[in-house]
Chains A and B, each alone.
Chain A
Amino acid sequence: MLELERLTKLFEEGKITRRTFLSTASALGLTAAISPALLSKPAHAEGKVIKIGGAVPLTGPVAYWGISTMQGWVDGAAVINEKGGIDIGGEKHMLEIITYDTKGTVADARAATTRLVEQDQVKYVFSQAAASTIGMLQITEPAKVISVVACWGYLKIYGKDYPYHFRAEMSDYEQGYAYIPFMQEHYGKDKLKSAAFIGPDDQDGIDCNYSYKRLMEYYGIKDLGVEYFNWEDTDFYPIVTKTLKSNPDFIVTSPSPPGITASIVKAAREMGYKGPISSPAASETKTILEVAGEYAHDVVLPVTCVEPVTDSQKAIKARFIKRFGDFNALAGNYSWWIYGLVAAIEKAGTFEDTKAVADAMATVVLEDTYVGKVTWEGQNSFGIRRQGVYDCYTTLIENGKARLADVRYPELPDTY
């Protein structure tokens, strides 16, 4: 308080003019703001270069996912370049990653992709989340540019009509064939006879509800209905109150980010709900433990590897911490994408003919990634193999503690 008054006095006496103070401060701020743009790394000076573009949300509400996605590509490119690059027909090619921000909106995703495809001339792009994917596909498909994304639902822009479009992240639907069998084994089939769904009030929520309904039908579990929350909701008491009225044996919430999952868990437990709650999108154990505290119990988190087990997982974690300062399970889940693409390019023996690369990619199998074994599936249900399917590491939170409870490859039905 005294300091403040002194400062005020200095201002009033004109010892520091507001102008000098502000201009110094802002000059510093501007320099800080612009320098990263100017200092961006130069392209590899020698040898052939394959450019890969990222149109991902680096700002806005889904920035967390965007940044995690980008880290996987940047890390993978560095690792591959250190080893001398990709071998195509005996010639070495370096990888270069260019990333632009989409703010998580469709229009900006389109702008970023336009710049990547039409100005930077990239043949391969990656993205994250539905809005960015929608904006991206309008540009990439006609230009025969391969897109590797994480996007659930929106099935009308996926499948045979989009042959260059790969969905690397397993959606809640594929995850279901891993976590529901696990839950049935862990809790007993008789304890899980009915379920209710909570999701966001948008296309993502509707699509995830559709996946959930198909899963419930497949496993013969009674569906007690759905409640949608709004992204701007602050308190989840109203939504959870509505859900608990039907008294479900367990609750599925998807795609709810960790903070919202935790709020739902906390509200449900506070109201005395005892059944398990699964969240196929939360993936951030620490947040759930922090927010829900003692109420974090019987929370099932598919595709969440709480602590690395295999040597390659441990190596990825160590490398990410060294390179980016931190590591999260989500970035780990995305870290194999680049290796899938590189394997396809090497297999096809070309990087210019994207059709050949896309065909090769569909047959790629990776054995030892952060998510274990990876394949591309979906021949029977979509007529084309464009969906990544891999070992599902399921974390279980019990009494405020998280542990890796199950690892299994999704038990997909023959019709998939």
Chain B
Amino acid sequence: MALDELTQMTLTGINLGLMYALIAIGLTLIFGIMRIIQYAHGEFYMLGAYVLYYWAAVLKLPYWVGIIVSAAVIFVVGAALQLLLFRPLHGKNILYSLAVSMGLIFIISSGGLLTFGTIVKGIPSVVTGGVMVFGAFYTYERMVISIVSAGLILGLWYFLQRTTTGMAMRAVSQDPEVSSLQGINTRRIHWIAFGMGSAMAAVAGCLMGTLLSIVPTMGFIATVKAFMIVILGGLGSVPGALIGGLIIGFIDSFVTTLVSADVAYIIGFATIFVILAFKPTGLFGQDWD
């Protein structure tokens, strides 16, 4: 294997891995704190990309502001849906949250196709050009996207470790009852976490949408990837989601280049199955009763 090919695969792997991790961290936050199945997570990824599309490609407004606007819009949408649909299901069998979020997938993706149309769209890139790294071409666009993803992941980690709300979130995720006794408003934490998790997916959608193309049905693949990663890393674990994201990113890059995409999926799912068979709560995850 030539060096340039190896470099290409590694760079692609890091790039994909960080973006997957961004989606998955949003999901793991919702999982860990609310203990529900949010199966429609990828739909927020899709909606986020479309918000940016209308902002940057249709209205021609500044790109980077658009990402913040997209995150804010999806935060509000996510928080509102939590209050309306998911709050009453808190503490019930996960089947109910699974069913409601499945309903959301049907509604959002079909509604998206009706509103946004079925034609594939693209968000114009703002960063162009690139540089040669060990014989492989690395575009500045991909570089910026990787840096932004990594920055957001670090930022979230800092938020969870150092701020009051962040610490409250971790407390709720570890033990909802005790933290509620300690005076934490768990209901508030729930909708904030749901909004934040969805907003992270939206940002990932913006970045991925710029790099590739967008279509209203793109959400489900993102959900699949996010679930693979979250289960691999363990529910509620941010470092787990980062590591899981990179693992899946590297499998996607290397196995797809060397063998085929179907094999990449088979290996990805088989890895998850084996890890769960030996460690039924994922690599770093919490145990649910």
Asked whether the complex places CB atoms of A and B closer than 8 A, the reply is: yes
Q: Are the CB atoms of A270 and B16 closer together than 8 Å?
A: no
* Interchain CA distance A230-B256 in the complex, whole Å: 9
Number of interface residues of B (CB under 8 A): 51
Query: Do the beta carbons of A263 and B212 come within 8 Å of each other?
Result: yes
Distance A228 CA – B264 CA, assembled complex (angstroms): 13
A239 to B212, CA, bound (A): 14
Tell me which residues from 219 to 241 in chain A have a Cβ below 8 Å from any Cβ of chain B: 228-230, 232-239, 241
B83 touches A11 (CB 8 A): yes
* Set of chain A residues within 8 Å of B5, measured between Cβ atoms: 241, 245
Residue in A8, A235, A287 whose beta carbon sits within 8 Å of that of B119 in the complex: A287
Stretch touching chain B among A61-69, A118-126, A133-141, A362-370: A61-69
Chain A: number of interface residues, binned into ranges: 35 or more
Please, which residues of chain B bring their CB within 8 A of the CB of A160?
none
Complex: A87 Cα to B110 Cα, angstroms: 41
> A349 at interface (Cβ–Cβ under 8 A)?
no
A284 to B9, CA, bound (A): 30
Segment touching B, from A41-49, A290-298, A314-322, A377-385: A290-298
| Residue numbers in A under 8 Å from B12 (CB-CB) | 235, 237-238
Are A287 and B213 in contact, with the CB atoms below 8 A? yes
A59 to B265, CA, bound (A): 25
Structural contact, B124 and A237, CB atoms closer than 8 A? no
| Chain A residues, CB < 8 A from B79 | 4
Chain A facing B: main interface SS: helix
In the complex, identify which listed stretch (A181-189, A254-262, A339-347) lies at the interface while the others stay far away. Answer: A254-262
Contacts A201-B261, A235-B252, A242-B257 known; A291 to B137 CB distance under 8 Å? Answer: no
Residue-wise, chain A 288-315 has the 8 Å CB interface mask toward B (1 for contact) of: 0111111000000000000000000000
Chain B residue numbers with a CB within 8 Å of A60 are: 217
Inter-subunit contact A328/B256 (CB<8 Å): no
In the complex, chain B residues whose CB is within 8 Å of the CB of A272: 137
Q: How distant is the Cα of A291 from the Cα of B211 in the complex, in angstroms?
A: 8
In the complex, the answer to whether A237 meets B217 with C-beta atoms within 8 Å is no
Interface membership of chain B positions 104-144, coded 1 if the CB is closer than 8 angstroms to chain A and 0 otherwise: 00000010010001111111110010100000110100000
Most buried by B among A230, A238, A242, A292: A238
With A and B bound together, what is the CA distance between A18 and B39 in angstroms?
Answer: 22
The answer to whether B80 touches A4 (Cβ under 8 A) is: yes
Within the assembled complex, what's the spacing in Å between the Cα atoms of A12 and B188? 11
Chain A min CB distance to B266 (Å): 12
CB distance from B55 to the nearest CB of A (A): 14
A79 is an interface residue with CB less than 8 A from chain B: no
Once the chains bind, are A21 and B118 in contact (CB under 8 Å)?
no
Interface presence of A88 (CB below 8 A): no
User: What 0/1 pattern do residues 86 to 113 of B give for CB contact below 8 A with A?
Assistant: 0110000000000000000000001001
B215 CB, nearest partner CB in chain A, Å: 6
Asked whether A143 is an interface residue with its Cβ less than 8 Å from the other chain, the reply is no
CB 8 Å contact bits of B209-224 with A (1 = contact, 0 = none): 0011111010001001
Q: Is A201's CB under 8 angstroms from B119's CB? A: no
Provide the residues of chain A in CB contact with B211, threshold 8 Å. Answer: 235
- List residues of B (16-33) whose CB comes within 8 Å of A's CBs: 16
Question: Contact at B213–A262, with CB atoms within 8 Å?
Answer: yes
CB of B113 within 8 A of CB of A63, answer yes
Once the chains bind, are A241 and B113 in contact (CB under 8 Å)? Answer: no
Q: Is the interface of B mostly helix, strand, loop or mixed?
A: helix
Q: Is the CB of A235 within 8 A of B118?
A: no
Q: In the complex, what residue of chain A is closest to B12 when comparing beta carbons?
A: A237
Q: Which residues of A contact B76 (CB under 8 A)?
A: 4
Distance (whole angstroms) from the CB of B134 to the closest CB of chain A: 14
Contact yes or no, B16 A234, CB < 8 A: yes
A64, B208: Cβ atoms under 8 Å? no
Are B191 and A291 touching (Cβ within 8 A)?
no
B113:A232 contact, CB within 8 angstroms: no
Interface residue B8 (Cβ < 8 Å from any Cβ of A): yes
Asked, given contacts A234-B208, A237-B8, whether A201 binds B262 with beta carbons under 8 Å apart, the answer is: yes
A7 at the interface (CB under 8 A from B): yes
* Residue B84 CB within 8 A of the other chain: yes
**Within 8 Å of chain B (Cβ to Cβ): is A157?**
no
Contacts of A61 in B (CB 8 A): 217
A286 partner residues in chain B, CB cutoff 8 A = 119
Measured between alpha carbons, how far is A245 from B257 in the docked complex, in Å? 11
Q: Which of A7, A59, A201, A284 interacts with B80 by CB under 8 Å?
A: A7
Does B271 belong to the interface (CB within 8 Å)? no
Known contacts A59-B110, A239-B256; decide if A287 and B83 are in contact (CB<8 Å).
no
30 contacts between A and B (CB under 8 A): A4-B79, A4-B80, A7-B83, A8-B191, A18-B88, A22-B84, A59-B110, A59-B113, A232-B261, A233-B261, A234-B208, A234-B225, A234-B252, A235-B15, A237-B12, A238-B252, A238-B253, A245-B5, A259-B212, A260-B213, A262-B120, A262-B122, A270-B130, A271-B136, A272-B137, A286-B119, A287-B122, A287-B213, A290-B123, A294-B128
A interface residues with partner B (beta carbon < 8 Å): 4, 7-8, 11-12, 18, 21-22, 59-61, 63-64, 67, 201, 228-230, 232-239, 241-242, 245, 257-260, 262-263, 270-272, 284, 286-287, 289-294, 326, 328
What is B's interface to A at a CB cutoff of 8 Å? 5, 8-9, 12, 15-16, 57, 76, 79-80, 83-84, 87-88, 110, 113, 117-125, 128, 130, 136-137, 139, 187-188, 191, 208, 211-215, 217, 221, 224-225, 252-253, 256-257, 260-262, 265
